[in-house]
Structure formats: C-alpha cells, structure tokens
Amino acid sequence: MRVCTLGDLLLDVVIRLDRPLVAGDDAPARTNAGAGGQAANVAAWAAELGAEARFVGKRADDAAGSLAASELADLGVELAGPVVQGRTGIVVSLVTPDAERSLASDRGVAPELVADELDPAWFSDCDVLHVSGYSLLREPIAGAAGRAVELARRAGARISVDASTWSAIREFGPLLFRERLAVLAPDVVFASERELQELGGRALAPVVVVKRGAEGCSVIEGEAVENHPALAAVAADSTGAGDAFAAGFLVGGVRTALEAAARCVGKLGALP
C-alpha cells in the first residue's frame, strides 16, 4: 500500500512545560525539534505502520528545511516537490503539564506550491492521497491540491482530507472551506468535533471520522455511527496524535488508528 500526502513539511519545536508560564519570568521545560507539518506527520506514521509513503510539497533550501527533510527521509518517507530559495516554516507547540498543546504556526514557503509544479508520476501509483486541510486555506496550494486529487483519482486512489483547524476555518469562512472540500469530493474526512461544528455537520464525505482525543473516535457512514473508545495511554504530548490516528486509519482501520494515537501521545513530538 502506498500513502501519498500533500501539504506542509515544517520544523516542529515542541515545548513541554513543567508548570504554567509566568509573565516576565522563567519556567522549566523539555523541548524537542524536528520535522513536522500535518502532511509530513501522516506520511511518517504511514511509513512506520508498514505502508510505502510519499510526501508532496514545496520546501525551502535553508538549514531548517534540510533538517526536516533529512529526518523525514530517515523515517522511510519519499520526498517529492520543488525545493526553492526561501524560508522553511516553523510551528511552535506549547504543551501544558496536562499534555494539551497550543500551536503557533508559520508555514513558510509551503503554501506557494503551484499546480504546474506537480509531476503526474507522483500520484500514478498511490492507493490513498491524503490532503491536509491547511492546503485549502491558501492559494496557490489550494489549486495544487485540486490538481493532485485529479491525478490521484485518475489512478484509482482514494482521497482523504483532514479538516485540520477550527479556528482557521472560522477565519477563512466555513462556507468557502466547505465549497473547496466539495470540489475535492473526498472519500474520507477526518475532523475534530469542533471542526465538524464549524463546517455545519456530518455530510462532508461518505465516511467522516470524528477524532475525540482521549474519548476515542466516531466513524460515521451515512446514518450509521460507530463509537470507539481510546486506548489506555500515559499522555506526555498530544502534538501530532491526530495525524498518527489518520495514518493508522488509512493503513489499517480504526484499531490501528487508535494504537498509533496512543503511541504518539506517550512521547514528546509528533513523529514516530
């Protein structure tokens, strides 16, 4: 099985606080830096779970980009897409002592991917194309996502999309986001409860997978709803757990998804 992903390859900086920040003062923390970005995370976990994985996206030729690309390749992911002069995006994930995380995101050159820069060969052999919802929020990458879906579907691939971010969807406009999602006509949509609420309900794809964090997940197919509890885990950091879950679902279904998410939350950082 080959899983292709389209979106961002960024540098993730994860900061896990031992106690809440104090304005104007210092607080002890543990940190981790490495490859990140939703599409990159899904590709890394797909490779970890036994699939062949290819990441497609635009990345910069700076030191941060080289570090992120090298780490992703070391995890068994094939990298495709233009490498350009510019600045690699950085995401800072601030993790509180209870393992909840908040993100500060700078996407760098990633949203500048253009449809004409895609090679049809990158999508000719994929079984699943997974598109990060962040890619629908900006042009020209939104156009590139649409072209990638055309190429992948022509090759017989299933299409999945992760809604990604309720706050950015609200700022962008839920109706416009939903219109762009409808153009892609995905087979599977992943969304948190809050993202689903912003988008107005369940009718986003034939299969909608609701990620509920510590409460597990719900799989919605038409009128049928299956609820699945999360697996036991000692939570250290929730960064990337949703991406691990999505990769697991695409590779092996619900059980594999829940196992991958439990593994991810038990460690610092988003990658396997």
pLDDT, one tens digit per residue, over 239-257 is 889 999 999 999 999 999 9
CA–CA separation, 88 and 257 (whole Å):
29
Closest CA to 195 of 204, 206, 186: 204
Q: What are 89's two structure tokens?
A: 């995006």
CA–CA separation, 223 and 243 (whole Å):
26
Three-class SS state of 9: coil
pLDDT value at position 33?
A: 86
CA–CA separation, 188 and 132 (whole Å):
12
Q: What are 145's two structure tokens?
A: 């996502």
Q: What phi, psi does 91 have (nearest 5°)?
A: -115, 125
Q: What is the sign of the dihedral through the CA atoms of 253, 255, 258 and 263? A: negative
- Rounded to 10 degrees, the C-alpha dihedral 120/1/140/143 comes to 70
Across all residues in the chain, what is the average pLDDT? Answer: 94
Buried/exposed 104-136: b ≥16 CB within 10 Å, e otherwise: ebebbbbbbbebeebeeebbeebbbbbbbbbbb
Per-residue pLDDT of the chain (272 residues; tens, 9 = 90+): 999 999 999 999 888 888 888 788 888 888 888 899 999 999 999 999 999 999 999 999 999 999 999 999 999 999 999 999 999 999 888 888 777 778 788 999 999 999 999 999 999 999 999 999 999 999 999 999 999 999 999 999 999 999 999 999 999 999 999 999 999 999 999 999 999 999 988 789 999 999 999 999 999 998 899 999 999 988 888 888 999 999 999 999 999 999 999 999 998 888 99
Tens-digit pLDDT profile for residues 203-249: 899 999 999 999 999 999 988 999 999 999 888 888 889 999 999 99
Residue 176 carries which DSSP code?
H
pLDDT value at position 6?
A: 98
Q: Residue 243 catalytic?
A: yes
Per DSSP (E only), the strands in the chain are: 2-6, 10-17, 29-36, 52-56, 59-60, 77-80, 83-84, 88-95, 101-108, 128-132, 158-162, 188-192, 207-211, 217-221, 224-228
- Does a cis peptide bond (omega within 30 degrees of 0) precede residue 272? no
Residue 12: Cβ within 10 Å count: 25
pLDDT value at position 164?
A: 93
CATH of domain 2-265: 3.40.1190.20
| Annotated active-site residue in 8, 12, 162, 243 | 243
- Rounded to 10 degrees, the C-alpha dihedral 113/194/41/44 comes to -120
Q: Quote the pTM value.
A: 0.94
pLDDT value at position 103?
A: 79
Residue 267: Cβ within 10 Å count: 15
Three-class SS state of 144: helix
